[in-house]
Amino acid sequence: MESEIITARVHVKIQQREYQMPSVYTLNDVLGLLVFSGKYQFLHNDLDCMIIAWAEDQIIEGNDSETLLILASLGLDNQPVRAEVELYMSRYMAEQQINLPPLKTASLVWIKLFMSQLSQSASIHDAEQKMYFLVCHWFEPNVKIFTAVVDTLKSLYWHLFDESEGPGTSEAVRMEESEFFELINRAMLPYALKIENTDWLDLLVR
């Protein structure tokens, strides 16, 4: 009876989510982000909410795991406790015999999602902030294609947003948004095609 009440409350909460659409993250995405943010702890302050959103969608799709239901129900709190989210996620993984991916694989998950978010930026300014994040932080997962993506985007950042000649003199200021994002997407495409292809995964992380 108690689990039925919790399930009902979770369903109501999901219906009230602002975006009214399923979580964009798969289980592999969630696990990858969990591992990568464990290594680089300045990442994904919203990871708890992402895990809970994934759990909520699993419940809606008919997953009847009691542990997963408890995990989803943590979203009923205004501020989920990270330790509780990780505890029930770990319990669910143990029940389902799911292992965390190695760091190298997790790094590809993170950079894949980063490229996707960059491509979908709301504006040039939004994209600038995302690219500046790469400039400000140091990653060393020892994966060649990860490093190549980061170096490419850093190089593009300095090319597009350099204002050494004064405010408002950057290359990006003179570009239309369509032109800007075409340039960014063209630079990322060769890497994205490989990273999103599961057949390449083992080769990329060697």
Residue with tokens 């919790």: 6
* pLDDT above 80 (res 52): yes
User: Which of the residue ranges 63-77, 110-124, 142-156 would you say has the lowest mean pLDDT?
Assistant: 63-77
Kindly state the average pLDDT of the residues 186-206.
Answer: 92
What integer pLDDT is reported at residue 18 of this predicted model? 46
* pLDDT above 50 (res 143): yes
Q: Burial code of 116-138, b = ≥16 C-beta within 10 A, e = fewer?
A: eebeebeebeebbebbeebeeee
Q: Decide: pTM greater than 0.75.
A: yes
Binned at pLDDT 50, 70 and 90, residue 42 comes out as confident
